[in-house]
Amino acid sequence: MADITTWSTWSELVAPATLTMGTTQGRYVWDLTSKLAGVLRINMALLGTTVPGAAIDIRVTRIAGSTDGAADSVSPAIIWAMAYRPTGSVASTTINGDVAAGEDHLHVASTTNFAQGDKIVVTDASFDRIEFHELVGTGSGLLYLLNRTVYAHTAAQADTVYDNAGAWDVYIPGGSIVAIVADYRGASTGSNVVWQVLGQTEDYA
């Protein structure tokens, strides 16, 4: 009889944090030595409408221990890499009508340059109500979402919405320690960026 495995629910590994253009590298070490596997969800979005002058480099690398050492710096084992660099115009708007958690739409001041398939971020300044979504369409003052809202958003709060967000799922074999790194130090222009990392693990039931 085959072994039965189970996946954990998503947990937040990196709480939403700002990557400042030209100066910031975000980093998190994830220990999967006792797990069968893990999956990362990496979310990222601009916090403005100025596209980066250089890509934000995102990498997941296998490392030798809980901190980087000489062995890691000589030849890091790259599991996954992505360059996040929105181009063209970045659409932005604000919430101008109340929606409860669990709704499939947002009331917004403008839908100009938003379109089906766009990845968006909805956020307040302190990231208390941040969430990432994919659009399935637009209407008059409405953005329709693939998934339901996590938080309530009100007209009084006037949370901001930006498109050109990114979201990636990364499968990682168990038995390893990995570093998730997002590096925005190479750009000399561009709005700041927010990143968030979620994770779930596979184990025997």
Spatial neighbors of 5 by CB under 8 A, at least 6 apart, are 36, 202, 203, 204, 205
Q: Which of residues 75 and 17 earns the better pLDDT score?
A: 17
Answer whether residue 198 shows pLDDT above 70: yes
CB atoms within 10 A of CB 12: 11
Structural domains of the chain ordered from first start: 14-87+166-200 (2.60.120.680), 92-162 (2.40.30)
Tokens of 147: 């998934």
CB 99 within 8 A of CB 106: yes
CB 183 within 8 A of CB 144: no
If you average pLDDT over residues 52-73, what whole number do you get?
A: 79
CB 40 within 8 A of CB 169: yes
The two counts, helices (H) then strands (E), for the chain are: 1, 15
CB 19 within 8 A of CB 127: no
CA–CA separation, 39 and 20 (whole Å): 26
Looking at the chain, the whole-number percentage of residues with pLDDT higher than 70 is: 94
* Tens of pLDDT, residues 161-197: 999 999 999 999 999 899 999 999 999 999 999 999 9
User: What is the model's pTM?
Assistant: 0.92
